[in-house]
Amino acid sequence: MVRAKKHLGQHFLTDLGIARRIVDAVDGGTVLEIGCGMGVLTQFLLERDDVELWGVEVDRESVEYLRERFVQFSPRLVEGDFLRFDIGERFPDGVRVVGNFPYNISSQIFFKVLDNRDLVPEVVGMVQREVAQRIAEPPGSRTYGILSVLLQVWYDIEYLFTVSEGVFLPPPKVKSAVVRLRRNGVATLGCDEKLFVKVVKAAFGQRRKMLRNALRAVFGDMGGAEHPFFTRRAETLSVAEFVELTNWINNQKI
């Protein structure tokens, strides 16, 4: 047994049926499991003939347990922090990502995936239900935000199913959910990508305000120019509308 460590956000899944559902949702190929824990997903991933499984685990106790339990997996299990992991160096041809993601770094995991989006064609992850809802929701939802927009630019996102608290050891205080992200066909945004990110973050920085006021805090008054979106709030804009707004701001030459 491995002790769950609070500072690592560990909650070990104990329901084998749910574990198999998560594994079944992953397409074949080279797969990297983040946070293998006690191997509940690992065991089913290793059974698949169409999967070459790698793992990254920061907890030394878990690494020792896994190497003893799955001897054949040991050479492909890396002890280390995924957030410091060089995906391009290890997987130049790309890799699918799966895992029961620690709650305390799940958003950081998704941002790292974004940074490596052309190397990560698919993600199947269990996260806090609130995070899953946030990234999967369409415009107009109260949970739609920065991560929603930035992920939906590059990935098609599916909310697969909800997971109750009682199937973990120790049980978390909130429900979890499994999401699947599949890389879409978007190659370029059609706008300045760095400015796009800046616009999205500025828009949601004061999400209760109209866009005119939220953007003014970052971009100034833009020479007094007005855009039709300025009377709306950030949560109502689609990805395409954020692209349009970014191009408009870029043309103001701020």
Per-residue model confidence as pLDDT tens digits over 38-71 = 999 999 999 999 999 999 999 999 999 999 999 9
For all residues of the chain together, what is the average pLDDT? 93
Domains and CATH numbers, the chain: 6-183 (3.40.50.150), 193-251 (1.10.8.100)
Model pLDDT for residues 194-241, shown as the tens digit of each residue: 999 999 999 999 888 899 999 999 999 888 889 999 999 999 999 999
Stretch 97-113: mean pLDDT: 94
pLDDT number for residue 5: 59
pLDDT at 253 over 70: no
Task: Please give the structure tokens belonging to residue 135.
Answer: 């990234």
Please answer whether residues 15 and 167 qualify as being in contact, where contact means their C-beta atoms are separated by less than 8 angstroms: yes
Local structure of 161: helix, strand or coil: strand
Query: What is the arithmetic mean of pLDDT over 70-93?
Result: 96
Amino acid of residue 185: G
- Break the chain down into helix, strand, coil percent, rounded to 5: 45, 20, 35
Q: What percent of the chain has pLDDT over 90?
A: 82
Q: Which two tokens stand for residue 85?
A: 């992991």
CA angle 38, 41, 44 (to 5 degrees): 120
Closest CA to 29 of 102, 120, 100: 120
Question: How confident is residue 139, by pLDDT bands cut at 50, 70 and 90?
Answer: very high
pTM value?
A: 0.92
What pLDDT was estimated at residue 10?
61
The pLDDT > 70 percentage for the chain reads 95
pLDDT band for position 7 (cuts 50, 70, 90):
low
- Pick 111 or 170 by higher pLDDT: 111
Which amino acid belongs to residue 24? Answer: D
Taking 60 as the threshold, does the pLDDT of residue 246 lie above it?
yes
Tokens of 47: 């059974």
